Structure 1
Amino acid sequence: MDRQTVRAWIMYDWANSAFATTMMAAVLPIFYSTVAASTLPGQTATSYWGMTQSIAMLLVAVMTPILGAIADYSGYRVRFLRLFSYLGILASLCFVFVGNGDYLLASFLFILGTIGFSGGNAFYDALLNDVAEPGKRDYISSKGYAFGYIGGGVLLIVNLLWIMKWSWFGLPDSLAGTYLSFASVAVWWYVFSIPLFRRMKDKKTGGRHTFGQYASIGFSRIWNTFKRIKRYPELLKYLIAFWFFNDGISTIITMATIYGTEIGLGTEALIGALVITQFVGIPFTLLFGRIAEKLGSKKSLYISLGVYVLIVVFGYFMTETWQFYALAVVVGMVQGGSQSIARSIYSRLVPADRPAEFFGFLSVSSKFSAIVGPFVFSVVGMLTGTSRLGILALVVFFAIGIVLLAKVDLTKGEAEAAAAKA
C-alpha cells in the first residue's frame, strides 16, 4: 500500500465535501431563496428548491448504474473522476454570475453540480480497491469519510466568516462574501484534488464498450439484483423501511436551511447552526456505535428515528433563532449515528458472498427514493401555501419507516443471508 497514494485518495474526500456542505446544505439554499428566487414568494422559492433537488436526484439515480458499469469495466476511472469533478467545480464557480431573479439558472447550475459531485463519487469509490488491500479498506474508507467531514466543516466556517464579518476581509457586503464562498468551493475542490490526479493513473483493462453497452450492463445488473433480493424476505422488508426513513433524513438535510430562510431566520444563524451540526455529529456518531453495542442495533435505530420525529414536529412550530440552534444540535446528535447503524444493519442482512452487488443496489435504489421527500415537501407547500405543513409531512416517512422496521426479524434475516452463502 502506497501511503502517498492513500493520502491523495483521502484528500479528495476533503476536497469535494466542500460542495456537500456549502452548496448542498448551507450557503446555496439561503442564496437561492433570498437572491436567485427573490422575485418569487418565499413559499414558492422553497418549493422550487425542493423540485430542483428532486430533478437532480432523479438524474443522478438514472446515471448511477451506467457510471457503476463504466467504473467496473473500463480502465478510465481517474479520467472520468476528473471529468465529473471539473463539471462540479465549473458549476460551483458559475454561481458568481447568478443575480436577483435568476432562479432558473441557479437550479440548472445546481443540477450540473450535483451530477458532477455524485457522478465523480462513483469513480472515486471504485478507486478504493486500487488504493488499499482488502484488510485495510474499511479503515481507509472511514478515514476518508472523517477527513471529508472535517474538510467540509473547515471551509464552511471560513464561508461563515466571509458572510457574517465581510468588512474584516475588505468586502463591500455580505452578498460579496456569499459569492466568494461559491468561488472558494471551486478552488478548494480543484486544489485538493490535484494530489489524487497526479498520483493515480488509469489501468487499461483491454475491454471497451459503447455507452449503450455500459447502460445495458448497468441496468441489467440492477434488475438481476432486484430479482435476487426477493429471495431474502427480511432484507427486502428492511430495504423498504430504509427507503422511507432515509428519505425523511435526506430531505431534512437538503431543505433545512431554505425552510429556515422562509420562516424568517437570518443567514448567519442558519449557516452557524449547520456548522454546529457538522461538528456535533463527529463524537455522537461514535457514541451511537457504543449505544448499539449496549442496546442492540435495532433499538438504537428506533431511538434515532424517534428523535427525528420530534425534530420534524418541533420544526413545524419553530419561530426563533435559538430554536433552530437547538434543532441543529439534536440533528447532529442523531444524523451520523442513524445512517451508520442503518448501514450496519443492512450489511448483516445481505448475502456474504454478494456484498458489493447488494450495496450497489442500495445506493441506486436510495437515490431513486430520495426523489420523493423533496417532491412531497414542495407539493404540500405549494398546495397549502406554507412550507410548515411540508416539513410536517415528513412525519409520515419516519412513521412508515418505523412501522416497517418493527416487522423485520434481524435474527431470521441473518440466517437467510448465511444460508444463501452455504
Structure 2
Amino acid sequence: MTDKARKSKYPLTKLEKAWIGYDIGNSAFTLLVSTIFPIYFNSLAEGGGLAPHMALAYWGYATAITTLIVAILGPIFGAMADVRGKKKKLFAMTVAVGVLTMMALMLPLSWFQFLVFFIIARVGYQASLVLYDAMLTDITEPERMSRVSSYGYALGYIGSTVPFILSLVLILMGEKIGLTMQFRMGGAIIINAIWWLAFTIPLYKNFEQKYYASETMGSLGQVFRGLGKTILDLRHFKKAFLFLIAFFFYIDGVYTIIDMAVAYGGSLGLDSTQLLLALLLTQFVAFPFALLFGKLSNKYDNGLLIKVCIVAYALITLFAVQLDKVWEFWFLAVCVGMFQGGVQALSRSYFAQSIPKEKSGEYFGIYDIFGKGASITGTMMVSAISQATGRQNLGILALVILFIFGFYFFAKADKVDREVIV
C-alpha cells in the first residue's frame, strides 16, 4: 500500500468534519436554487405576462450576472483572505449576506424584484465558497485532499435532501390545504436558511488559518498589485495554468446544466412535481458516486477520472437535446448524479495540490473566475440562443462545444509534471 493510500484511510479529524459540514449546509441553498426557485420564478413570470422561453432567458441572465459579480469579487476576497486571520472573518461576512438576503425572498415580490434579491443572495453564497474552498489547504494534508473534498460533496448531496424534502412536503401539502404559494415558499426559505446557518457554526468555531501570505491587509491598491503578481506567476505553474483553461470550459458546462436543468424542463412543459422529484433523485445518486470517486482517487490518477467525467457530461448533454418526456428527464437526472460530485470534488483537490498553500485564497479566487464565473458563457449561450430561436434545445446543444474544449486543454495539462516550470 502506498503512503498516499495509507494516510487517506486515517479517520477524519474534527476540523475536517466541520469543513465537510459546511458542504452539507450550503448545499441546501444550491438544491433550492436549482429546483424550487426556478419553478416559483416561472409562476411569478407567468403572472407578469412573460412567455416561457423569455422566463428561461431572464433566469439565465440573472445567473450570468451573479457569476460575473463573483468573478470580479472572488479574487479580491481571496487576496484579502491570505492575510493572517482574515479568511474566517470574510467567510462569516459572505455567509451572513447570503443567508439574510435569501430570507428577504420571503417578501411579496414581482418577478424582477425576485431576481434582484436572488442575485444578491447568490453572490453571498458563491463568495463564501471561494473562501471555503481556500480553507482546504488549511484543514487537511495534500494526500487527503481528494478524499476530504469528495466527502464534502457526497455528504452535501445527501444532507441537502433533508431540508429539501421538508420544503417539498410543505409546498405540496400546503397546496392541498389551500396555503398561498408565497406562504409555502416562505416556509421553505426559513427551513433552508436555518439549515445553512446551523452547519456554518462548527466550521466558524473550529477553523484557524494555518497558511497566510502576509500579516497586514494593506491598501486596496496593494491587494490588486498582489493579485496581479499572482496572475503573472501562474505562467510558472504550467500545470495549474492549463488546468484553469480546461476548467473554464468543462465546469462551465457542468454548472450550466445544474443551474438550468429545472428551468429547461419546465420551459418544455414537463410536470413541475416530476422535475423536483427527479432532481431529488440526482442528490441520492450523487452521494454514493461522489464517495466512489473519492475511493477511486486512491487507486487511479485524478486526471484519468476527471477525463471520464468530462466525456460523460458531453454524452449527457447530447441526450438532453432531444429531451421531451418526463422519463427522459429522470434518466438524465440519474446520469448527472453519477458524475456531478466526482468532477467537482476531484477538480477542487487537483487544483489545491498544484498551488502554494500560503496563497490559497488568491489562487482559489482565480479558480473561481475560471469556474463559477466562467458559467456566464454557458448560461448566456443557452439564454441567448433560446431567446433568438425560440428553441431551448438548440441552446443546450451548444454546451457540447464547452466539453470538447475542456477535454482538450485538460489532456494537455495532465501531461505536465507537477514541478514548477522556471
Aligned length: 408
Superposed, 1:5-404 pairs within 5 Å as: 8-23=18-33, 25-36=34-45, 38-39=47-48, 40-73=50-83, 75-99=85-109, 102-125=110-133, 143-166=151-174, 172=179, 176-196=183-203, 209=217, 213=219, 215-233=220-238, 235-288=240-293, 297-343=302-348, 346=351, 350=354, 356=360, 358-404=363-409
Q: Distance in 2 between matches of 1:50 and 1:110?
A: 12
1:410 to 402, 410, 414: 414
SS at match of 2:106: helix
Contact 2:245 2:370 in 1 (8 A): no
Q: Alpha-carbon deviation of 1:90?
A: 1.7
Which deviations, in whole Å up to 9, do the C-alpha atoms of 1:225-284 show, x marking residues without a partner?
332333455554443222111111111110111111111112211111111111101222
Which deviations, in whole Å up to 9, do the C-alpha atoms of 1:202-240 show, x marking residues without a partner?
99x996546xx2x43443344323323334555544432
Residues 69 and 236 of structure 1, relative CA distance in 2, 3 Å threshold: closer
Residues 145 and 284 of structure 1, relative CA distance in 2, 3 Å threshold: closer
Q: Alpha-carbon deviation of 1:294?
A: 7.1
* Structure 1 match to 2:3: none
Q: Distance in 2 between matches of 1:138 and 1:310?
A: 25
SS at match of 1:361: helix
Residues 243 and 198 of structure 1, relative CA distance in 2, 3 Å threshold: closer
TM-score (norm 1): 0.83
Q: Alpha-carbon deviation of 1:98?
A: 3.8
Q: Distance in 2 between matches of 1:130 and 1:403?
A: 32
Instruction: Report the identity percentage.
Output: 32
Question: 292-301 vs 53-62, which deviates more?
Answer: 292-301
The code of the aligned residue for 1:193 comes to T
The code of the aligned residue for 1:85 comes to V
The code of the aligned residue for 2:185 comes to T
Which deviations, in whole Å up to 9, do the C-alpha atoms of 1:16-73 show, x marking residues without a partner?
22211112x1111121122245421111111111110111011111111221122221
Contact 1:160 1:268 in 2 (8 A): no
Contact 1:79 1:202 in 2 (8 A): no
SS at match of 1:318: coil
Q: Distance in 1 between matches of 2:243 and 2:14?
A: 40
Q: Alpha-carbon deviation of 1:174?
A: 5.7
Q: Distance in 1 between matches of 2:173 and 2:120?
A: 30
Q: Distance in 2 between matches of 1:57 and 1:180?
A: 27
Name stretches of at least 5 consecutive residues in structure 1 with no aligned partner.
none
The code of the aligned residue for 1:97 comes to L
Name the structure, 1 or 2, with higher relative contact order (CA <8 Å, separation 6+). 2
Q: Over aligned residues, Cα RMSD in angstroms?
A: 3.6
Contact 2:64 2:376 in 1 (8 A): yes
Q: Distance in 2 between matches of 1:297 and 1:191?
A: 33
TM-score (norm 2): 0.83
Q: Alpha-carbon deviation of 1:315?
A: 1.5
Residues 216 and 370 of structure 1, relative CA distance in 2, 3 Å threshold: farther
Contact 1:53 1:371 in 2 (8 A): yes
Which deviations, in whole Å up to 9, do the C-alpha atoms of 1:167-188 show, x marking residues without a partner?
68x5625664333212222222
Q: Distance in 2 between matches of 1:64 and 1:409?
A: 24
Question: 314-323 vs 304-313, which deviates more?
Answer: 304-313
SS at match of 2:393: helix
